[in-house]
Structure 1
């Protein structure tokens, strides 16, 4: 298979290594995710506000650190230092999981939930910031769906590995599997950067500037303001579904292994849907009718599904002759559309803003804003329940957020401060 024509400037090998790098990054993450989620399922949604509060505090502490790093060091050093730090942390968790019975599952679960959330946000966000450096805007529309599809393959392999191996080698060994795949991803990305540096040394220079410029950009620039709102609305929907799923698994599963297997199956369905979209509808929309449709359509579907949830409830519904929890359908659809359609569209749009905003504004939105939304939504969910609001009211509220997200997504994709697409130039 020949690489897309737009990839000629960066080379077919660069594209192949980008795909492999993202495949390994998401394999590493999705080996860990079912282990994390089953701990949440054991505790139920009532524990989530505390979990997310800690995550939010950690984000506030680490986001300036990230800004300081990219302001003063070349991207190669930032990549190397960040990924190696996470690899070392994975190995450090191994003895903790060996001693899980003595430490206690709840205490270890709280720490591990926070750490895996930080791992996901920083490792994946940094990857896409680097890709936006390597590929130009017109190239991105062609190659980002391919790169994201490679990631979807890793997102399928990760939970599959966990499901197949955890009962044989134990949880501590899964951390080693995750660390090894992340190291392999780092190797592929270092080669990508070396090839990109040979073509354009200027992009490898430190960014300079203040560590709070990401937050300033998210407030001052129209496109980043829309991205902030879209993150809050979309996160509200996804976090609500995640919390309701935690309550469902707490009520229906008492065995840790069975609960882990259920979450692994859920991730397989979610990522399978995302992979199908990456292979079919998403590239068709982005190439033929523009990025705006790929950003708006998921919010439209979410609105319909959440209205269905409001009137039906989270319990079983009949789908293709099988009884399936409706909340599982909602979570599969919302997350599958996010990973399979919204994410490639958003990352393609980020190639059309200045480089500093890509690193600092994007990272601020995808770390601090995201986790503030998690805290806000889970705390709000507990407050609504305390007031006697049932699933119907919660579903209607989230359907309203999805409707607002439709308009915000449209405005983001047509924001006046987006640079025009061009084959011939890069932003400095």
Structure 2
């Protein structure tokens, strides 16, 4: 974490900081930034949950449960190449430029998906893979940014508060999206809402950065592509964790395939019985 000077702790705490101190040790001057970071990850996780649910009817109606499983494997292969390249690039770019650049790029990608969704075959496959990149990029750069603006000591105290936003954002995003699908809102409109949340996140980054410009970033050694993989292969402990993750993903993928197969079959049966039945809304609301 950044070896930066922290806010003075001898001043009087604000009402916000006294409230947050119920949950952890929040010192004078730390409350506003901690709350802004909480709001930011809250918005990002709502956004991701919305996009994750929208991808399901696109991939299932476009190719079925089998196509979804094959695409998930393709997504894993893409991420194996993307993660080290992203890490290498992030270690060489100013944190603010990285956040703004990646966020704007993902917003443009999302708007492009909206424009071509109705006219391009297999857009659900590309969108499914893109969602994995979206999740990895935004969450990774958020915690990288938090790592830059907090020392290790401050992070140990304040990260539990910030994680509250992460924990609350995901289920709320899923709930909202399910209600929208049930109400007949189209995926295009739902994705526009998620793009709006990304804009809100960018604005929050701007406010946070304006507050934290007085802090200096500790020099970091630039990462070489593949550095993370080398670290895993050198450690028995990390190799065992990697093996556990692989096994968990096998179990998770198998379960998701079975659920997707049952869901699409049931939706098709309902559509056959009722020509007005909306399979897309049904799968999205599920």
Shorter-normalised TM range:
0.7 to 0.9
User: Distance between the aligned counterparts of 2:239 and 2:28, measured in 1?
Assistant: 32
Residues 64 and 261 of structure 2 are in contact (CA less than 8 Å); yes or no, is this contact kept in structure 1?
Answer: yes
Query: How many positions carry a matched residue from both structures?
Result: 255
Q: CA RMSD in A?
A: 2.6
User: Distance between the aligned counterparts of 1:22 and 1:80, measured in 2?
Assistant: 15
| Aligned match of 1:257 | 281
Q: Which runs of 4+ in 1 moved over 6 A?
A: none
| Aligned match of 1:23 | 42
User: Distance between the aligned counterparts of 1:94 and 1:21, measured in 2?
Assistant: 24
1:213 paired residue among 216, 227, 230: 227
| 1:231–1:192 distance in 2 versus 1, CA, 3 Å | farther
| Aligned match of 1:46 | 66
Q: Residues 233-291 of structure 1, C-alpha deviation per residue, up to 9 Å, x if partnerless?
A: 332332232222212212322322111111xxxxxxxxxxxxxxxxxxxxxxxxxxxxx
Gaps of 5+ in 1: 263-428
Residues 69 and 257 of structure 2 are in contact (CA less than 8 Å); yes or no, is this contact kept in structure 1?
Answer: no
| 1:69–1:221 distance in 2 versus 1, CA, 3 Å | same
| Aligned match of 2:272 | none
Please give the residue correspondences for 1:310-321 in structure 2 after superposition, counting only pairs within 5 Å.
Answer: none
| Aligned match of 2:54 | 35
Q: Does 1:2 align with 2:16?
A: no
| Aligned match of 1:149 | 164
| Aligned match of 1:119 | 134
Residues 24 and 161 of structure 2 are in contact (CA less than 8 Å); yes or no, is this contact kept in structure 1?
Answer: no
User: Distance between the aligned counterparts of 1:206 and 1:9, measured in 2?
Assistant: 28
User: Distance between the aligned counterparts of 2:233 and 2:29, measured in 1?
Assistant: 33
SS at 1:209's partner residue?
coil
| 1:222–1:136 distance in 2 versus 1, CA, 3 Å | farther
Q: Residues 329-364 of structure 1, C-alpha deviation per residue, up to 9 Å, x if partnerless?
A: xxxxxxxxxxxxxxxxxxxxxxxxxxxxxxxxxxxx
User: Distance between the aligned counterparts of 2:210 and 2:239, measured in 1?
Assistant: 33
Tell me how far 1:182 sits from its aligned partner: 1.0
2:198 paired residue among 182, 187, 201: 182
| Aligned match of 2:247 | 233
Residues 85 and 226 of structure 2 are in contact (CA less than 8 Å); yes or no, is this contact kept in structure 1?
Answer: no
Q: Which has the higher contact order (CA 8 A, sep 6+)?
A: 2
SS at 1:6's partner residue?
coil
User: Distance between the aligned counterparts of 1:51 and 1:226, measured in 2?
Assistant: 26
